[in-house]
Amino acid sequence: MRITLVTETYRPEANGVAMTLGRLVDYLSRHGHQVELVTPTLKRDDVPASLSLLTLPGLPLPGYPAVRFGLPAVRRLVAEWGRHRPDVIYVATQGPLGWAAVRAARRLGLPVISGYHTHFSAYGEHYGLGLAAPLVDSYLRRFHRRTRLTLAPTQQLAAQLRDAGFGDVEVLSRGVDTRLFQPQRRCDELRRQWGLLPGSPVVLYVGRIAAEKNLDLAVRAFRAIQRSTPTARFVLVGDGPLKARLAADNPDFVFTGCQSGEALARHYASADLFLFPSLTDTFGNVVLEAMASGLPVVAFDHGAAAEHISPFSNGVTAPLGNADRFVALAILLAREPSLRHRFGALARGTVNTLDWDTVGARFTALLAAHATGKQPSTGPRPLVAAG
């Protein structure tokens, strides 16, 4: 198939949406499909030569300048797709560029599928736009109803979107690279760099350091842990607009900046407990990465945690929004090394079968079901180098 993917974020940006899209594109390219990226963020050097790239104008997101959103470009897209018609279009982000892509596709009679990767209405309250949440929800509903199908990462979210009138919704889950993320990457030297005393627990957070991630709760949970375990350390991997303030207010925290590849895997495996306090993520890829690394996770019961954590078996979950319960669970696991070890081992076993190839094959099948061109087999086939 000739597939166009429209997105306002992509690798090398460090976020779950960019990582997920990169994995899906890798799978499509390996299996011989022609992929075009339409984005305001990339340059030709950012992507393999095997991918087509159309970079359109964009602007920095207010309050979050590291993130860009695309501007409307209906006429440009109509002209581009009129010359080189894709078999199917996947719109991953719902900003002005995504809306333009949907309009252009409908004008040309091209099939378009959308992804629900981000709870934009939930972000509003963190950036002074809480009163706009109903308007955002209405916009998102209209946006997704104009596409043939919306893909959501969990059964829970898919049901919520169907009930809210988003039209046809299917589940496209997420995978994890268990060869990269594994407990054997634990590194004593890295722990020494963090200033650990022997036997002291490391509490880890990985992700954007931004308001929507509910990091005040992570700080509260760690301070409660520290009162009973003074030698514990809090390590935060990532970057974002709150990093400078959080570092100034908490000089004892370890901020490593963004990490990737084997370096990121060593950071996971060298910790002892993972906190995921977010209330806004639709999934949370970092939860699976932590579990694959043998870490017990403390999270709320939604997204990846609701799908893959069995409470008091391979991790712990608090009722959505119950901050006191979240803190209490974090304290419990910090105090009980035997529980951490048992839950971590079971967590690793839980995610062993969640490979990205399975996700990629389902994505391909969903695209093929709506493509205008020949629908390919999604069974085993020779791999094609991605460039």
- Sequence spans of domains, the chain: 2-175+355-370, 183-351
Query: What is the per-residue pLDDT for 46?
Result: 83
- What pLDDT sits at residue 385? 32
Residue 124 pLDDT: 56
Q: Provide the pLDDT for residue 170.
A: 97
Quick one: CATH architecture of 2-175+355-370? 3-Layer(aba) Sandwich (3.40)
Q: What is the pLDDT of residue 44?
A: 84
| Per-residue H/E/C for the chain | CEEEEECCCCCCCCCHHHHHHHHHHHHHHHCCCEEEEEECCCCHHHCCCCCEEEECCEEEECCEEEEEEECCCHHHHHHHHHHCCCCEEEECCCCHHHHHHHHHHHHHCCCEEEECCECHHHHHHHHCCHHHHHHHHHHHHHHHHCCCEEEECCHHHHHHHHHCCCCCEEECCCCCCCCCCCHHHCCHHHHHHCCCCCCCCEEEEECCCCHHHCHHHHHHHHHHHHHHCCCCEEEEECCCCCHHHHHHHCCCCEEEECCCHHHHHHHHHCCCEEEECCCCECCCHHHHHHHHCCCCEEEECCHHHHHHCCECCCEEEECCCCHHHHHHHHHHHHHCHHHHHHHHHHHHHHHCCCCHHHHHHHHHHHHHHHCCCCCCCCCCCCCCCCC
pTM (whole model) above 0.75: yes
Domains 2-175+355-370 and 183-351 share a fold: yes
pLDDT at 43: 81
The predicted pLDDT at position 23 comes to 96
Looking at domain 183-351, its CATH architecture is 3-Layer(aba) Sandwich (3.40)
Task: Give the residues of the chain that fall short of pLDDT 70.
Answer: 62-67, 119-132, 373-387
Residue 384's pLDDT is 33
